[in-house]
Amino acid sequence: MQETITIATDQREVLIDITDQVAALVARSGIRSGLVSLYAQGATAALMIQENWDDSVQRDVIDLLRKLIPRGVWQHDRQDGNGDAHLKSGLVGPSETIPVIDGRLGLSRWQNIFFCEFDGPRAQRTILCTLLRDEC
């Protein structure tokens, strides 16, 4: 089974919690055991599993990446000014795979799934979700 989640972003750099959308997709699928593979479409976006309790962790992620990969100093900036966004998305990565256990996401209590926007705001961002049923 394959579906997409579409979101809009309202900041240049932000982590957006998509856990509820993914959990709803898993529930609709009827899959009790398997995997959900998530893929952020776009060269300046990524996915990350991170703590969900306190949004300071998401702000810390953005702050760290800004310090590691500053804006405006990359060769690609001469083309369209978003060299840092490409590097950040490449470092974090475009995909995550989460087990489905007893019909639910196999995340721990403190984990959620975050879409990472590094070149917003964008009217539309797409996450491709592929669910695989365990046939054993």
Q: What is the 3-state secondary structure (H, E, C) of the chain?
A: CEEEEEEEECCCCEEEECHHHHHHHHHHHCCCEEEEEEEEECCCEEEEEEECCCCHHHHHHHHHHHHHCCCCCCCCHHHHCCHHHHHHHHHHCCEEEEEEECCEECCCCCEEEEEEECCCCEEEEEEEEEEEECCC
pLDDT band at 12 (very low <50, low <70, confident <90, very high): very high
- Report residue 76 as tokens: 């690609």
| pLDDT at residue number 52 | 86
Sorted by sequence, the CB contacts under 8 Å of residue 32 that are 6+ apart come out as 100, 102, 103
Per-residue pLDDT tens for 45-66? 999 999 988 889 999 999 999 9
Question: Domains of the chain by range and CATH?
Answer: 2-133 (2.60.120.460)
Q: What type of residue is 7?
A: I
Residue (of 50, 85, 42) closest to 65 by Cα position: 85
Per-residue pLDDT tens for 77-124? 899 999 999 999 999 999 999 999 999 999 999 999 999 999 999 999
pLDDT band at 1 (very low <50, low <70, confident <90, very high): very high
pLDDT of 6 above 90: yes
| pLDDT at residue number 117 | 98
| pLDDT at residue number 77 | 86
